[in-house]
Amino acid sequence: MSGRLLQLAWRNLWRNPRRTFITMAAIAFGYAMLLFVACLMAGLRWQMIENGTSLVMSQIQVHAPGYYPTRSIQKTLGGRQGTDVTAMLATISADRRVVAAAPRVYGNALLSASHRSAGVELMGIVPDQEPKITTLNRQIAKGSYLNAQVPKGVVIGDNLASTIGIDVGSEIVLLTQAADGSMGNDVYSVVGIFHTGLDTVDRELVLMSLPSLQELLHLAPARIDEVGIKLNDITAATAVASSLQTQLSKTLPVRVMAWPELAPELASYVQFNRGITFVLFVIFFLVAVIGVMNTMLMAVFARTRELGMLMALGMRPVQVIVLIMAEAAGLAAASLVVGGALGVPLLWYLQEHGLDLGGATGEVISLAGVVVGHLWYGRQDFPAYGQAAVGLAATALVSALYPAWRAAHFRPTEAIRKV
């Protein structure tokens, strides 16, 4: 394509500046909106994954084969003999993609206090390690988190506290079936009350120290149910889980599960989110097709006589097609530059301030069983930005094909007579 032809194409765009500006504004606005949507949807995906895995679950879990999801008290890592917990944590932490790992034990019990009782799920943790992989310690509404000074302390949800009628400082009794078949029971003190916004967690979960729960369940210190893992890149969870599965299986039977397997509903919503983003992109592309095709058709019909003269002077049909396509490409390029400039402040605002979905009430919002909060923050999604730009550019070029084909099939003698 000669520089002369490109120059002619650019000049042709501005022979009717009003029409060009209207089309450019539509495409630029569409691109800015695509950037906005991509940033917003990426932010929602990230918030849901981060909040869904960091509250209690963790991004990767290591269990004994057959333990999940029934959580049988007998199926601890390493069986009845248990395992070297310190060595296992060291092996996991040796992977550079792992930020932290922490051991856990689970159980079910009947909680009694104030002449009331309720079934609860017990979760035994190491208080100084668990906060490295989950954020339940940040959800304390009253009292404090678990600490070594109160070995018999527990932290419960606010819904459970209100149901039983207890508060910080109250004593509770936990009754459960231990691993050896006997009944385990003991008295504990409530040191803290948390609020997550998830009814199931706030109504059923009881957090206690790992040694205390092992003692209640008659488990040796070497017997744990699970190791929770946090990564520096949550998108690599599946790959890291596969790698750890191979590494840990060299010493004992394990099953390593990443969050998409642990929370299939959350994984499905993430895919749904991507599907919605794709649909919105397609809608914007269709709007761009209409706008660009209309502009190019009007430009071609308005210059019928001129194009006929050029063809009469020796311009070949393929050159006419190239000319029209170059005009469309120039229109798309200019529109994308303007749209990108319009999108930058929108993306900045989304990432810094977010959208307040809760309005003045500030109500907590949950999706797919995950608390996302009332502020919806955006997140950079450069691949999506690039796809939007390429898609709009391709749309503009495809939209110009029909007008270019029409122009290339003009008969010079007939076109010249057009007024």
d(CA 297, CA 208): 72
Question: 366 and 224 in one domain?
Answer: no
Q: Are 84 and 99 in contact (CB under 8 A)?
A: no
Q: Does position 323 have pLDDT exceeding 80, yes or no? A: no
Question: 290 and 156 in one domain?
Answer: no
d(CA 182, CA 363): 45
Output DSSP code: residue 392.
H
SS (H, E, C) 265-309: HHHHHHHHHHHHHHHHHHHHHHHHHHHHHHHHHHHHHHCHHHHHH
Single residue among 236, 262, 288 that ends a domain in this structure: 262
Single residue among 229, 262, 295 that ends a domain in this structure: 262
Question: 174 and 76 in one domain?
Answer: yes
Q: Are 371 and 202 in contact (CB under 8 A)?
A: no
Question: 232 and 124 in one domain?
Answer: yes
Pairing of strands 366-367, 60-63: unpaired
Residue 397: per-residue pLDDT: 81
Question: 334 and 208 in one domain?
Answer: no
Domain that holds residue 183: 58-262
Question: 110 and 21 in one domain?
Answer: no
Question: 107 and 184 in one domain?
Answer: yes
Residue 322: per-residue pLDDT: 77
Residue 8: per-residue pLDDT: 67
Say which range, 187-196, 198-207, 407-416, has the weakest mean pLDDT: 407-416
pLDDT, tens only, 114-159: 788 999 999 999 999 999 999 999 999 999 999 878 889 999 999 9
pLDDT, tens only, 216-232: 999 999 999 999 999 99
Q: Does position 17 have pLDDT exceeding 70, yes or no? A: yes
d(CA 371, CA 201): 11
d(CA 369, CA 53): 11
Q: Does position 419 have pLDDT exceeding 60, yes or no? A: no
Residue 416: per-residue pLDDT: 63
Highest mean pLDDT among 14-18, 87-91, 376-380: 87-91
Single residue among 216, 243, 262 that ends a domain in this structure: 262
Q: In angstroms, what CA-CA distances link 29 with 93, 297, 335?
A: 47, 21, 8
What DSSP string describes 42-64? HHHHHHHHHHHHHTTT-SEEEE-
Average pLDDT of the residues in 335-352: 90
Query: Mapping DSSP to helix (H, G, I), strand (E, B) and coil, where does residue 207 land?
Result: strand
Joined tokens for residue 142 = 């009253």
As a whole number of Å, the end-to-end CA separation of the chain is: 29
Residue 129: per-residue pLDDT: 94
Question: 157 and 77 in one domain?
Answer: yes
Comparing CA positions, the residue from 307, 394, 294, 378 lying closest to residue 344 is 378
Band of the pLDDT at 362, cuts 50, 70, 90?
Answer: low
Question: 245 and 284 in one domain?
Answer: no
d(CA 286, CA 34): 13
Question: 141 and 231 in one domain?
Answer: yes
Residue 1: per-residue pLDDT: 47
Query: Distance of alpha carbon 98 from its chain centroid, rounded?
Result: 19
Residue 98: per-residue pLDDT: 95
Question: 167 and 115 in one domain?
Answer: yes
Q: Which secondary-structure segment (H or E) carries 31?
A: helix 17-54
Q: In angstroms, what CA-CA distances link 418 with 14, 15, 303, 305, 332?
A: 22, 18, 9, 5, 29
Going along 31-115, which residue ranges are E strands? 60-63, 98-113
Q: Are 126 and 89 in contact (CB under 8 A)?
A: no
Joined tokens for residue 195 = 């609020």
pLDDT, tens only, 291-307: 777 777 776 666 666 66
Give the chain's domain count: 2
Q: Which secondary-structure segment (H or E) carries 175?
A: strand 171-177
Band of the pLDDT at 192, cuts 50, 70, 90?
Answer: very high
Q: Does position 411 have pLDDT exceeding 50, yes or no? A: yes
Q: In angstroms, what CA-CA distances link 28 with 15, 221, 286?
A: 20, 63, 14
d(CA 219, CA 178): 8
d(CA 248, CA 63): 11
Say which range, 239-248, 306-315, 332-341, has the weakest mean pLDDT: 306-315
- Averaged pLDDT score across all residues of the chain: 85
pTM score of the predicted model: 0.79
Question: 216 and 83 in one domain?
Answer: yes
pLDDT, tens only, 232-290: 988 899 999 999 999 999 989 999 999 999 988 888 888 888 888 888 888 888 877 77
Residue 280: per-residue pLDDT: 86
Residue 27: per-residue pLDDT: 82
Average pLDDT of the residues in 32-61: 89
